[in-house]
Each structure stands twice: as C-alpha cells, then as structure tokens.
C-alpha cells in the first residue's frame, strides 16, 4: 500500500510538471518568429497565405537560394544540417495541416545523401517531434526509429526534449530580431573567406568517390517519391536541385543515374553540384565562405543561374 501510494504521488507530480512544462513551451513556441526551432516556419505561416516558390533544404539551400531574386512572394524555409526526411516531414505538415497555398517547391538534395551507401539513420525527423500528435506521416516515421519510440510521447513535454534552450533563446531574440522577409539567410563576404575556404578544403581532402554508392539510396528514393505523390495530389510543382560545391568529386556516371531516375518519376532535377567546373565566377574563392557554402555575392550569382534555368524550362 505504501509503495502504491509512493508511486501514485510520484507519477502524479511528474504528470503535473509535464503538463506545466508542455503548456509553457507551447506558449513560447507560438511566439517564435526566428531560428530553426520552429521560428522560420512560424514566420512563414504568420506572414504568408500563399507562396510562389518555397525553397526547402539544408544550409546549402538556406545560404545559396536568394528567394527574392527568383521573383516575388517566394520564401526560403531551409534548416541547417537537416537531411531529406526532415524536409519531407516539414513539407508534409505544411501541405496537409497548415493554411498555406504553395505553387512550387524547390527542394535541395545532397549528392552525398542521395548516393549514401548504407541505410540512413533518419533521426532528423525527431527535430519535428512537436508535430507528433498533429501529423500522421511524421508520427509514423518517428515511431519507426525504435520499437518503443511511441512510449516516450506519453509525456507531452517530451515533444520539447532538446529544444528548451533554443526555443527560449529564440523567443527572446524574436522580440528584437526578425528573419528577412524571404527567409534567405545571407553570409556576407568577409576578408577571412579565402582563409576559411582553404582550411575547409584541406579538412575534406580525404573525401573520395569510394564513400558513395553507384546507385541512388532506396530509402531516399522512397522519400522523394512520397513527396512527389503529395505534391501531385495537391497541385504543387516539385522541382529538385543539387547545390554547388567548390571541390566536387568526379561524378563518374552518377549524373546520368540521377537524370534517368528523376525523368522516370517526372520530377525536373537541376544539378549544379559541379557547376564550378563550368562557371569561372563561382570558381573564385571570393564567392565562398567555406568549401560548401557560398557567401552572399556567390549566392546572388548562383541564384541568377538557377533563375535562368527555371525560366528556360
């Protein structure tokens, strides 16, 4: 009896604490308009009813696609360091659960991710765990992470696990600092850029073709196809692109594999991975802040190239 009483009091207090934390975090989250912990998404939903082009991807989309250069009413909803499953989950949430009309989705894909030779971990979907109860697709992907993953969500504050500090920090920042209206995050050119580029190229010297598979990862194919289906059924045009890199490894037939695959699923792919081999301006170290990220000057040039390609197709 004593034990039962002890357990009940303990669980009851944990439950009350859990509910309080969850309520406080939900309220903080709603006021976020900056940062990767939901702020960028909130900003989009608070300020747009309709977007013409929604650019989605990782930091190589966030800093490369100057959405305002592509035309009016575009938004760059990229999240640094996130893989395809995160972007697919976010798009799914926006299309299915939010009041936002989207004409075109411009999805950034990573070559290293597409040709990843092993089963990907897909843990990035956890960064969308605050949509767990709201989005079945996200819920199903999270539940697949481990056999008892759903048990963790019996506690509502778990949805905020790992995000408390960033949400609090971004909530404070939200009062003073707003995201640029088109979501693009510029990296202004600095005098240190060339030094950073050289050191980051040196740091990636070990990378080679052997780390990549010759064919597209089946898990990634499935995600792209699911996304394509979602877009088709909601009359959204899906366009994919691969961002440029300063020191591309040889494609060795992978370009053909990509074109063949994307043609088969009827999704246009714009592959700029090794565009530096064709464009002298982008080859200059002055256009980069490191080997994988263009600075603002580089981003403007790249976006113009992309705009011209989009218009000609």
Partner 1 sequence: MLFNSIDFLIFFCVVALLYFASKPKHRWILLLACSYFFYMYWKWEYIILIIFSTGIDYMVGLKMSELETKKERLPYLLVSLFSNLGLLVIFKYLDLLTFTFNELADTSIPLADLILPMGISFYTFQTLSYSIEIYQGKIKCERHLGKFALYVSFFPQLVAGPIERASSLLPQLKENKNKFQYNNFVNGLTQVIIGFFKKVVVADTIAIYVDTIYITHDSQTGFTLLFATYLFAIQIYCDFSGYTDIAIGCARILGYDLMENFKQPYFSKSITEFWRRWHISLSTWLRDYLYIPLGGNKGGKTSMYRNLIITMLLGGLWHGAAWNYLIWGLLNGVYLAIEKKLKYHSFIEKQSMLIKGLSTVLVFHLICFTWVFFRAETFDKAISIIDKIFTVEYFFNLEIRDTSVFATIVISTALFFLLEVFVFKKLNLRDPNPEQNRVKLIALKVVLSLFILIFGISEGSQFIYFQF
Chain residues binding partner 1 by CB under 8 A are 2-3, 6, 9-10, 13-14, 17-18, 21, 123, 146-149, 151-152, 155, 157-158, 160-166, 169, 199
Residue written as token pair 């009350």: 16
The residue (of 19 and 209) whose beta carbon lies closer to partner 1 is 19
Answer whether 179's CB lies under 8 Å from 44's CB. no
CB of 241 to partner 1, least distance (A): 28
Question: CA 37: distance to chain centroid?
Answer: 12
Q: What is each CA distance from 151 to 14, 118, 156, 164, in whole angstroms?
A: 15, 28, 11, 20
CB of 73 to partner 1, least distance (A): 32
The residue (of 15 and 214) whose beta carbon lies closer to partner 1 is 15
Among 76, 276, 299, 279, which residue's Cα sits nearest to residue 188?
299
135-140-146-151 Cα dihedral, nearest 10 degrees: 50
User: Which burial class, exposed, middle or buried, applies to 200 when counting CB atoms under 10 A from its CB (0-12, 13-18, 19+)?
Assistant: middle
The residue (of 157 and 228) whose beta carbon lies closer to partner 1 is 157
CB of 21 to partner 1, least distance (A): 6
Q: What is each CA distance from 161 to 25, 81, 121, 222, 247, in whole angstroms?
A: 10, 18, 19, 28, 37
The residue (of 15 and 209) whose beta carbon lies closer to partner 1 is 15
What 3-state DSSP class applies to 218? Answer: helix
The residue (of 21 and 45) whose beta carbon lies closer to partner 1 is 21
CB of 118 to partner 1, least distance (A): 17
Among 229, 227, 211, 209, which residue's Cα sits nearest to residue 219?
227
Answer whether 107's CB lies under 8 Å from 223's CB. no
The residue (of 151 and 178) whose beta carbon lies closer to partner 1 is 151
The residue (of 7 and 101) whose beta carbon lies closer to partner 1 is 7
CB of 214 to partner 1, least distance (A): 26
CB of 132 to partner 1, least distance (A): 13
**Please, what's the b/e burial string for 113-125 (b: 16 or more CB within 10 A of its CB; e: otherwise)?**
bbbbeeeeebebb
CB of 97 to partner 1, least distance (A): 24
């Amino acid at each position: 009896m004593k034990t039962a009483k002890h357990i009940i009091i303990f669980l009851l207090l944990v439950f009350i604490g859990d509910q309080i934390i969850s309520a406080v975090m939900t309220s903080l989250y709603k006021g976020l308009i900056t940062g990767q912990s939901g702020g960028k998404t909130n900003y989009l939903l608070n300020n747009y009813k309709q977007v013409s082009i929604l650019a989605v991807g990782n930091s190589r989309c966030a800093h490369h696609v100057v959405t305002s250069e592509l035309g009016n009413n575009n938004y760059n909803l990229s999240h640094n360091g996130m893989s395809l499953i995160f972007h697919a989950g976010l798009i799914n949430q926006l299309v299915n659960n939010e009041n936002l009309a989207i004409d075109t989705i411009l999805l950034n894909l990573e070559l290293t991710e597409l040709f990843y030779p092993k089963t990907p971990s897909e843990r990035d979907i956890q960064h969308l765990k605050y949509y767990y109860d709201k989005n079945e697709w996200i819920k199903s992907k999270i539940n697949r992470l481990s056999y008892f993953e759903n048990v963790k969500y019996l506690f509502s504050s778990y949805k905020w696990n790992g995000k408390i500090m960033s949400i609090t920090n971004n909530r404070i920042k939200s009062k003073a600092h707003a995201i640029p209206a088109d979501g693009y995050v510029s990296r202004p050119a600095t005098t240190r850029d060339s030094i950073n580029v050289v050191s980051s190229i040196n740091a990636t010297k070990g990378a080679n073709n052997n780390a990549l598979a010759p064919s597209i990862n089946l898990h990634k194919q499935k995600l792209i196809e699911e996304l394509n289906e979602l877009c088709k059924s909601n009359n959204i045009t899906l366009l994919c692109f691969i961002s440029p890199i300063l020191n591309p490894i040889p494609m060795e037939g992978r370009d053909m594999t990509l074109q063949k695959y994307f043609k088969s699923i009827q999704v246009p792919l714009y592959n700029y991975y090794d565009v530096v081999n064709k464009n002298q301006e982008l080859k200059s170290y002055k256009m980069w802040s490191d080997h994988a990220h263009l600075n603002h000057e580089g981003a403007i040039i790249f976006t113009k190239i992309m705009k011209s390609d989009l218009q000609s197709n």
